[in-house]
Amino acid sequence: MFFKKRHAGTDISSFVACVAGFFSLPEQKVSGWFTSEDGGLVLTLPFACQSQHQGLSLALQKLDGGDKIQIRQNIAFGGDAKRGHRSIRNLLAVASGKGGVGKSTTTINLALALASEGARVGILDADIYGPSIPIMLGNAGEHPKSIDNRHMQPLQAHGLVANSIGYLVPADDAAVWRGPMASKALQQLLNETLWPQLDYLLIDMPPGTGDIQLTLAQQVPVSGALVVTTPQNIALADAQKAIAMFNKVKVPVLGVLENMSYHQCENCGHKEFLFAQGGGERISGQNKVPLLGHIPLDIHIREYTDAGKALIVDKPQSVISQAYGAAARQLAKQLYISGQDQAQAIDISIKEAD
Ligand SMILES: Nc1ncnc2c1ncn2[C@@H]1O[C@H](COP(=O)(O)OP(=O)(O)OP(=O)(O)O)[C@@H](O)[C@H]1O
């Protein structure tokens, strides 16, 4: 590991410290991101954070030799890659516990935010009983094409790929499916869709924590889960059940995202906390999982998703887009850290078995 410390006579520890500080990570987690190529140093970032490259580059430029470092992004495989899906580097479940807290809206906007951070992103709508992704992507009524009558081409919208039961059967049909049929449908959507190479596949889970959700969490090789909640007590109680469910099936909970945190008046700027305040902090503290952000209750979010348009693409500089962007980068980082920890745990248990 000599290279980790020195490169062509340069002590790289100051670069490592700079990158570690920039991402608030321990130095040993980032030292392996530096490699040597054609006599120069390359820094390869393993999670989606393209919007941060310039800021990081400026920080490095202040260090002796830091201006020559090339920055790249190559998103790492998360979790137990051997159990994973061939073309998908990270499968992420987005769950809520309680219905109507904005899980699908959050899934779409985080997916768009991850794509704007330079990742290849897909959405699998597993909300069999209320598939809203087709409407939110603006392509309800379209159907996946198949060339062999077995595999489906995912649909494309706003730079994302997606598949949903909503593209395949009328909503009323799926609404009466029992558990085994619903989980079979999800397996088919995952395994019979011709997913292109993806860095992240976000799975919009059905709301609730019953048998169906438990089966889905067990059957699909997800690398981690995100729990969406509002700050309201009844939503938090259900979010807590969702966290307990993932703990039970040993799926790492990467964070909690508080939606509809407040409404800010467009005229006077006054913030109103319609669904109470501090709930996200409480649930994150109690469970020792990161709180990835607060998304306000905002008319533009509702209007854009109802119209199947992408706020983040149309108005990337808006406060809302920035809030989703920050949450998406946090999520990507947590997914990476959790994947590293899992890989290390597997490594340790293999060594112990030796
Ligand atoms: N932050 C927000 N600001 C304004 N409206 C929002 C916000 N988040 C979600 N909504 C709106 O709330 C409604 C419910 O959102 P959504 O369908 O995403 O919830 P869900 O939790 O996925 O619901 P379900 O339990 O039915 O799957 C939608 O009309 C959506 O546009």
Percent of the chain with pLDDT over 90: 64
Q: Spell out the residues 6+ positions from residue 200 whose beta carbon is closer than 8 angstroms to its own.
A: 48, 75, 88, 89, 90, 92, 111, 114, 119, 120, 121, 122, 332, 335
Residue given tokens 């920050």 in the structure block: 326
**Which of 42-46, 100-104, 217-221, 226-230 has the least mean pLDDT?**
217-221
Angle at 192 (CA atoms; ends 191, 198), nearest 5 degrees: 65
Residue 220, pLDDT above cutoff 90: no
Predicted confidence (pLDDT) at residue 221 exceeds the cutoff of 90: no
Q: List pLDDT tens digits, range 85-119.
A: 678 999 999 999 888 899 999 999 999 999 999 99
259 lines ligand 1 (CB under 6 A): yes
How many A from CA of 323 to the centre of ligand 1? 16
104 lines ligand 1 (CB under 6 A): yes
Name the closest-CA residue to atom 30, ligand 1.
302
> Strand order in 160-164's β-sheet?
155-157, 160-164, 121-125, 200-204, 91-95, 224-229, 253-259, 291-295
* Arithmetic mean of pLDDT, 329-334: 96
**294 in contact with ligand 1, CB cutoff 6 A:** no
Question: Mean of the per-residue pLDDT values for the chain?
Answer: 88
Ligand 1 midpoint to CA 193 (Å): 26
- Please give the number of the atom of ligand 1 that sits closest to the Cα of 296: 1
**Helix (H) and strand (E) counts for the chain?**
14, 15
78, 336 in Cβ contact below 8 A?
A: yes
User: Do 234 and 241 meet the contact criterion of CB atoms below 8 Å apart?
Assistant: no
Average pLDDT estimate for 134-156: 92
Report how far ligand 1's centroid is from the alpha carbon of 195 (Å). 26
Q: How many CA atoms lie within 13 A of 208 on its CB side?
A: 14
Query: Which 8-state DSSP code applies to residue 158?
Result: T
pLDDT(152) > 50: yes
How far, in Å, from the CA of 107 to the mean position of ligand 1?
Answer: 10
Measured CA to CA, the distance from residue 198 to residue 50 in angstroms comes to: 16
Phi and psi torsions of 73, nearest 5°: -130, 130
Asked if residue 245 lies in contact with residue 103, where contact means CB atoms within 8 angstroms, the answer is: no
Say yes or no: ipTM exceeds 0.95.
Answer: yes
SS3 182: helix
Q: Is 261 in the pocket of ligand 1 (CB under 6 A)?
A: no
CA of 245 to the centre of ligand 1 (A): 22
Residue nearest to atom 9 of ligand 1 (CA): 102
Q: Is 207 in the pocket of ligand 1 (CB under 6 A)?
A: yes
